[in-house]
Structure 1
Amino acid sequence: MNWIILIIAGFFEVGFATCLGKAKETSGTTSMLWLGGFFVSLTISMVLLYRAAQTLPIGTAYAVWTGIGAVGTVIVGILLFKEPADFWRMFFMTTLIASIVGLKFVSH
Structure 2
Amino acid sequence: MTAYREKNNVKVLMPEPVASVVSIDTQDAPMKGNPDAKVTIVEFVDYRCGYCKKAAAAIGKVMEKFEGKVQVVYMDFPILGPDSRTIAEGEALRRKPGEILGIPRHGL
Range class of TM-score, shorter chain:
0.3 to 0.5
> Which one has a larger percent helix, Structure 1 or Structure 2?
1
TM-score, length of structure 2 as denominator length? 0.32
Q: TM-score, normalised by structure 1?
A: 0.32
Query: Which structure: larger Rg?
Result: 2
